[in-house]
Amino acid sequence: MNFFLQHIERHVDESLLIQGEELFIQDKVLSMEEIEQHLWSFKVLDHDDKIYEVEIQITPSKVKAVTCDCDQFQREKNCPHIVASLLALRRRKSEEKKQKRKSKERQQSQSNKKLSIQQILDQLEREELIHIIKDFTRQNRAFALSLKARYAYKVPSVDSQKAYLQLVNSVIQMARRPDRTFNKRGAASIAKILEEMLEQMHLHLVQHQYAEVFILAQSILLKVPPILGKIQSDEALLNPPLEKVLKLLLQLIQARIPPALRERIWEFLIEEYVKIAYRNHALDVFFHPILIRLAAEDEQEVLLLETSELMLDHYRIEDRPLAQALYFHYLLWEKKYGKKAIRQFLTHILQESSERSELIHYCIRQKDYNRAEQFAKASLKLAETVADKVKGKTFLLRLAELQQDNKKTIKLAQDLFLTSKELGYFRKMKQAAGEGWLEVRTEVIQKLEKQLAKSDNHKLLPQIYGEEGMQEELLAYITQHPSLDLLVNFDRYLLPAHEKQLKAVYVAEVQLYLNAHLGRISSTKIRSIIQHLHSLGAHSIGNELVQVIRKDYAERPSLMDELSLF
């Protein structure tokens, strides 16, 4: 692995991300410790109440290696426990940064007051101040550029657009190294000028000088995105100002701007939107709310829909996450064709079932539950395999939980439980049922018993009986289907109340096992069973087994050797 800790969502499979987010939100990350420099250890509680150990190695900002002792990680080299740990670590790092900033601010506020610039400026005459500014601009080019960024618009004889383009170009040329790349310091100097230009955009917006706002934005967007790939720094120093530019453009088009200016903005942005520089640096998504508002005419709607479909093709070819682009394309589709066209969208636009999943996950993260439910229901109707149907119902279950619709949650969880036999769904039913749980439980167990009548799955029902405290049912089940595996796995639910009944079953099953098995392996297994019983406090059963074995199997050396511990 080698990706930025801040970019977890870009490098983790959507299904793992959802499971990891759920563990993280439910505070299942029990502990976090930096055991060595940049090596972190975590303990994560899974839904099955097992605790897994996770280790993550990082550089200050990148994830280098991960491990987890769960079975899923051994198979797939990733798991929800790692995702939950990464999210916890990112939050920890973010909080540490905030604390450092607060500490620095406190130190600055506590520093001794010195002679201020304001005090000096208050004493200067206008001519003296002009002389100082001219002199300093000759000596310091960065200051000269900053001055131009702030006040170029005040010069009536200068073409603002040309002036700002020259300004941005000069800043870039000054920061560029001989090999035409930019180091961190150079990128920071560009960012500084951009921030000053952003201040001017804010000022012009407040003063209703809308054309100036657009000219500033256009100058920045024409010159800065093409150089983003040449910046050699771990920090995306120029992304924040570019995001602010696009957000200010969104504010601009929401104002009462002249139609001609609105048309200019549309023509510029629809052309810029498709450039790869924006996709490479996750800036294209900031175009979405602007373009969808600008596309007021039918012709514009059609062009934007076609452009969005082209962007989806780019995303697929470039192997990028599709979720946001799919969501944007659907908003355009819905605007053009209405909500009833959702099935056509899924069949004509989406190429794989995984894209449906990405879209639904994204809707859920955006808390757009209505569209998420529409997509999930439509996907369920289109599902051709059992796996796809289960996936569709799983989405609907999650939505029902998020919207606290207990009736739907119970129905969907029951359906999924009876299909998959996963206890997690059984527990979801219980959580949703509340006081009506006994009635729901009876119905589910009856259906399950019918399904398992011809099944080899002999552990599901006893697990439910045990977790639910149904001791009589559990004892009856073990008595009807006796085996050492069942006894070892579920005797803890019956002890000490039913120790006498268990003793008879244990003795009979151990004798059957020893009659059918010889050798050291079988002897070791019997010894571990007796140790297990003593660990549960069932000493009478353990002692009884030792006496029976010593009496009936005294001729077996390995068995007697193992029993020497008791």
Name the burial class of residue 489, with classes exposed (0-12), middle (13-18) and buried (19+) by CB atoms within 10 angstroms of its CB.
middle
Q: How far apart are CA 530 and CA 566, in angstroms?
A: 9
Tens digit of pLDDT for each residue in 36-51? 988 999 999 998 889 9
Of 554, 528, 553, the C-alpha closest to 542 is 528
Q: How far apart are CA 457 and CA 85, in angstroms?
A: 33
Question: pLDDT band at 126, cuts 50/70/90?
Answer: confident
pLDDT at 146: 60
pLDDT at 157: 46
Rounded to an integer, the average pLDDT of 10-38 is 90
Tens digit of pLDDT for each residue in 369-421? 999 999 999 988 888 888 889 999 999 999 999 999 999 999 999 999 998 89
Question: pLDDT band at 352, cuts 50/70/90?
Answer: confident
pLDDT higher than 90, residue 241: yes
Cα torsion 441, 442, 448, 453 to 10°: value is 150
Element (H, E) at 33: strand 29-36
Q: How far apart are CA 25 and CA 401, in angstroms?
A: 14
Is residue 21 within 8 Å of 47, Cβ to Cβ? no
Is residue 540 within 8 Å of 499, Cβ to Cβ? yes
Q: pTM value? A: 0.62
CA atoms within 13 A on the CB side of 295: 24
Is residue 306 within 8 Å of 270, Cβ to Cβ? no
Q: Report residue 26: phi and psi, to 5°.
A: -85, 15
**Cβ–Cβ contacts within 10 Å for residue 39, how many?**
14
Rounded to an integer, the average pLDDT of 48-69 is 91
Q: How far apart are CA 90 and CA 97, in angstroms?
A: 11
Of 184, 288, 294, the C-alpha closest to 243 is 288
Cβ neighbours of residue 329 closer than 8 Å, sequence gap 6 or more: 305, 308, 309, 311, 312, 349
Q: How far apart are CA 221 and CA 318, in angstroms?
A: 23
pLDDT, averaged across the chain: 89
Angle at 368 between CA 367 and CA 373, to 5 degrees: 115
Rounded to an integer, the average pLDDT of 521-544 is 94
pLDDT at 242: 96
Rounded to an integer, the average pLDDT of 122-146 is 66
What single-letter amino acid sits at 420?
Answer: S
Domain boundaries, the chain: 3-99, 136-294, 491-566
Rounded to an integer, the average pLDDT of 227-245 is 91
Question: pLDDT band at 149, cuts 50/70/90?
Answer: low
Tens digit of pLDDT for each residue in 418-477? 988 999 999 999 999 999 999 999 999 999 988 877 665 678 999 999 999 999 999 999
Is residue 379 within 8 Å of 392, Cβ to Cβ? yes
pLDDT higher than 60, residue 186: yes
